[in-house]
Amino acid sequence: MCKMSVNKVILVGRLGADPEKAVTGSGKNVTKFNLATGETWKDKNGQKQERTEWHRIVVWGPQADSCASYLSKGRQVYIEGRIQTRQWDDKEGNKRYTTEVVAQNVQFLGSKNDGGARTTTDFASADVNATPSSFEMDTGPDDVPF
């Protein structure tokens, strides 16, 4: 039986909204934001198709402060991290789950003022104005104050 495992995510995309920063009850800085990544392809009829995926990103510590200060809706960012699923009970006692990427390395791409500006060299073609209902932030355990 193999005991080795890898949990690593690399994403390049654009923020769908401004980041949300908070401090946990234990005094830890945390920033959350949603990141859109996209892909395009041609279907069997030669028609261009697009798909956008939304990713919940959580950043802790000093990087959380930088993300809250310098990132904004539409800004392109590179993320390295790991996938984590949290579970909690909602107000009605139902079990709830959310899957997020815990960022370990965040690199800002482009300029702070590039907002929604796009070029053909963008890595993600996601529409940052599209905000499906699953894109909204869920509530979670007390240690994550969003």
Give the sign of the dihedral formed by CA 10, CA 125, CA 133, CA 67: positive
31: exposed, middle or buried (C-beta count within 10 Å: 0-12, 13-18, 19+)?
Answer: buried
Q: In this predicted model, what pLDDT tens digit does every residue of 10-52 receive, in sequence order?
A: 999 999 999 999 999 999 999 999 999 999 999 999 999 999 9
9-124: which CATH topology?
OB fold (Dihydrolipoamide Acetyltransferase, E2P) (2.40.50)
118 or 133, which is more confident: 118
What is the percent of the chain with per-residue pLDDT over 70, rounded to a whole number? 75
- pTM of the predicted model, to two decimals? 0.72
Residue 100 is classified by DSSP as: E
- 3 pLDDT band, cuts 50/70/90, is confident
The predicted model gives 4-8 an average pLDDT of 95
Nearest to 77 by CA among 53, 103, 99: 103
Average per-residue pLDDT for the chain: 81
Q: How far apart are CA 25 and CA 16, in angstroms?
A: 27
